[in-house]
Structure 1
Amino acid sequence: MAQYQTLLYYCYSTIANAEQFAADHLKFCKSLGLTGRIIVAEEGLNGTVSGTVEACKAYMDAIYADGRFGAIEFKIDEVDEPSFVKMHCRYKSEIVHSGLRDPNIINPQLKTGKHLEPKEFLAIKDDEDVVILDVRSNYEHSLGKFKNAVTLDIENFRDFPAMINQLAQYKDKKILTYCTGGIKCEKASALLLHEGFKDVYQLHGGIIKYGKEAGGEDFEGRCYVFDNRLSVDVNQVNPVTISVCYNCGKHTKKMINCANPECNEHFTQCDDCGTAMDGCCSDTCQEHPRKRVYDGTGYYVKVPQPINRKAEVA
C-alpha cells in the first residue's frame, strides 16, 4: 500500500469571511504536513492536497466535521510520493473562474444539471439523443477526452460562456457535461440551463471518479491533473493514445510545461523531442535566457506568489 495519498475535492457552500478562512486553513494544512493547492471563495472550496495517509485522513475528518462541507466527496489516489512540493491556500473571487458573478445566472447551490453517477453516464452516453460535452480547456482535451465528445476551443474555463452560441444546435439533445472532477460542470450546466437548454446532465465526480467506478471505458487518452503528475491514466477497459507530440507529430501521452517560464505552455511532447528541445515548445523558447533545466518530467515548481492575496476583480 502506498504511503501517500492525493485528494481531489470541491464544495459549493457559502463561506463567510472567506479571506480569513483561507489564511487559517493554510496554517491548518501546514500543521498536518500537507502539500497542495486550495482555492477559497465565498462560494466554497476547490482543492487538491497530498500527504501521508494519516495526514489525509486527519484532513478529511476535519473537513467533514465542519457542517458547511458535509457534501464534499473526496477523490482519493494512492501515490508513491506527494503530488506537490509546497502548500498554497489562496482566496479568490470564484473557486472556478467563469467571469459570471450574477447569482441569478449561476448558483450551483441552487440549480445545476442532473448528476449522473459514472455507471449511469456509461449506460446512456452512446444513445442517439445524447451529446457528450467536454467543458475543459484545449490542452486538457487534446491529451484525453471521451470518444465522440464535443470539445470547445477555449484556453480557460472563463471562455466557456462566450461559446454557448456554438452549442445551439444541440438544444433538443440530452447534454452530458464532464470535466476532471466535476467542479466546472456545476457552473457549465447551470449556464446551459439558464440559456434555454432543457435536458442537461453532468458526470458526478468527473473523469477521475468515472475511471475508478466505471473502468474509464471509452475515455481516450489520459486525464490532465493539476499537480506534479500532470496526467493520469483513466481507461482500464479499452485504452488508446490520442495525443501527439507538438514538435514531431508522433503519438505520445506525455504532457509537460514549456521550460521557458515566460511561456510555460502546456503541451504534449515525446521523450525524443523533449531531449532535443530541452523541454521547450519552440526554438525561441529553447534559446530563452531564463530557460529552466529540463529533468525529463516537464513539471516545474511555480515561482512563489503572495499567499492569500485577494484576486483582482475582472
Structure 2
Amino acid sequence: MALHNRVSAVELKQRLQEETFKRVTISFYQYAKIEDPQAFRDALYSTLFDLQVFGRIYVAHEGINAQISVPEANVDAFREALYLIPFLNGIRLNIAVDDDGKSFFVLKIKVREKIVADGIEDPTFDMDNRGKYLNASAFNEMVDSSETIIVDMRNHYEYEVGHFENAIEVPSDTFREQLPMAVDMLKDQKDKNIIMYCTGGIRCEKASAYMLHNGFQNVYHLEGGIIEYSNKAKEQGIPVKFKGKNFVFDDRLGERITEDIISECHQCGKPCDTHTNCVNDGCHLLFIQCEECAAKYNGCCSEECKTVHALPLEEQAELRKGVEKGLMFNKSRRKKHRI
C-alpha cells in the first residue's frame, strides 16, 4: 500500500461529511528515543490507515506528538495497537473536551527533527530531568498559594481566548522564543513554585526540563495539559480554574472549557472568542471574528481581502503572483499590523 494520501482534499472532506459513524478526537505525545524515525513512521502509518484514523502526527528521534480522530468503533483496537509499541504501552490518551468528530479529514505522519521546535542546542540538555507532574486536584491546591507562579507556555493567540486564573503570559509567538524568555522573566523567582502548562502537556513538559536546566528548583507541569485537567476536574467535581476556550490545532480551532468569553472580535471589539482563517486565498490569516463581522466582511479579515475575494478566481491568482500577503491583523501581540 502507498504510505501517503493520494486523494484530493476536496474529496476527502466530502467523504468525512458523509460518514455515518461518530469519531473521537484524541491527542497524545511521548518523549522517547526512536532510532529510525522513518521506519517507525511507515509502520505506524500502515497500522493507523487500516483503522481509518485521521490526523496529524510528528515523529522524531526524541519521540512522537499526535493529534488524531478515530472512529468510535475502532478506539479499542487503536489503543491496543498503540500499546503494542513498548514506549507507548499504557500512555495517557487525551480525549477532546468539546468534539464534533470533524477535527481531521486525512492522515498525515511526518518525520521531523524534533516533535517540538525548541531552539535548544545545548548538548547537556536532558529531557529525562523534567518537572514533577501535577494532576487536576494537586494543581488546584498549589495555585492558591502565594508561593506559586503559573506560566502559560502557549502562543499569544491561544492565551488570548482562554487561560488559567492569574497565569503569566510569555509574550512571544513561538515556543523557541518563549523558553529563554520565561527563564529571564522568572530569574528573580527561583525560590517560588513554578507551574508550567500548555494544551496537552508536550510543550510544558519540555519547558519544565528547560527551567530545571537553568537552575530553577521547584518546577512542575500540568499532567495532560488543559485537556486532561478539564476532563478530570469535571469528573471529580472540583472547581475549573481555566477560563474561556482552549485553542486547538485542528479544524475546530477551539474547544469550550467554560462559558467565559475573555477576548474580543479583532474587527469591532465585541466580546468574541471564535477563531477563523481569512477566506482570501492570498491571506488565510488566523484571527478572531464575530458573526456580524463575518457577514460584513464575507469571512475576510479586512476590506482589502474582501475586495480581492470577490474577484474572479483567475484575477485573484494573478494578484497573488510574487506579492507578499497583506495582513490587516496579526496573530501576534501586534494586533493591527500591515506588511
TM-score over 0.5 (shorter chain): yes
Letter matched to residue 145 of structure 2? D
Rounded to whole Å, the distance in 2 between the matches of 1:23 and 1:287 is 44
More helix by share: 2
Letter matched to residue 68 of structure 2? V
1:87-166 equivalence runs, <5 A: 87-105=107-125, 107-108=126-127, 110-163=128-181, 164-166=183-185
* 1:7 aligned onto 2:40: no
Q: Deviations along 1:201-257, whole A, 9 cap, x unmatched?
A: 10001000111111361211100011111101123xxx4110110111110121112
* 1:219 aligned onto 2:230: no
**More deviation in 260-269 or 176-185?**
260-269
Rounded to whole Å, the distance in 2 between the matches of 1:257 and 1:209 is 27
Structure-2 residue corresponding to 1:86? 106
Higher relative CO (Cα under 8 Å, sequence separation at least 6) belongs to: 1
Q: Deviations along 1:281-303, whole A, 9 cap, x unmatched?
A: 22333334599x9xxxxxxxxxx
Rounded to whole Å, the distance in 2 between the matches of 1:141 and 1:133 is 11
Rounded to whole Å, the distance in 1 between the matches of 2:77 and 2:310 is 40
1:34-113 equivalence runs, <5 A: 34-77=53-96, 79-105=99-125, 107-108=126-127, 110-113=128-131
* 1:258 aligned onto 2:278: yes
Rounded to whole Å, the distance in 1 between the matches of 2:295 and 2:225 is 34
5+ residue gaps, structure 1, are 294-314
Provide the secondary structure at the position in 1 that maps to 2:184: helix
Question: CA 1:266–1:172 in structure 2 vs 1: closer, same or farther (change >3 Å)?
Answer: farther
Provide the secondary structure at the position in 2 that maps to 1:169: coil
5+ residue gaps, structure 2, are 1-20, 314-339
Q: TM-score, normalised by structure 2?
A: 0.79
Q: Report the identity percentage.
A: 35
Structure-2 residue corresponding to 1:229? 252
Q: Deviations along 1:176-211, whole A, 9 cap, x unmatched?
A: 110000000111111111111111110001000111
Letter matched to residue 16 of structure 1? E
Conserved 8 A contact 1:50-1:56: no
* CA RMSD in angstroms, aligned pairs only: 2.2
Q: Deviations along 1:85-144, whole A, 9 cap, x unmatched?
A: 111000001111112144522x32x11111101110011112101111000001100010
Rounded to whole Å, the distance in 1 between the matches of 2:52 and 2:263 is 36
Structure exhibiting the larger radius of gyration computed from Cα positions: 2
Structure-1 residue corresponding to 2:337? none
Letter matched to residue 233 of structure 1? R
Q: Figure out how many residues of one structure are paired with residues of the other and give that number.
A: 287
Rounded to whole Å, the distance in 2 between the matches of 1:288 and 1:257 is 15
Rounded to whole Å, the distance in 1 between the matches of 2:282 and 2:123 is 35
1:165 positional shift: 1.2
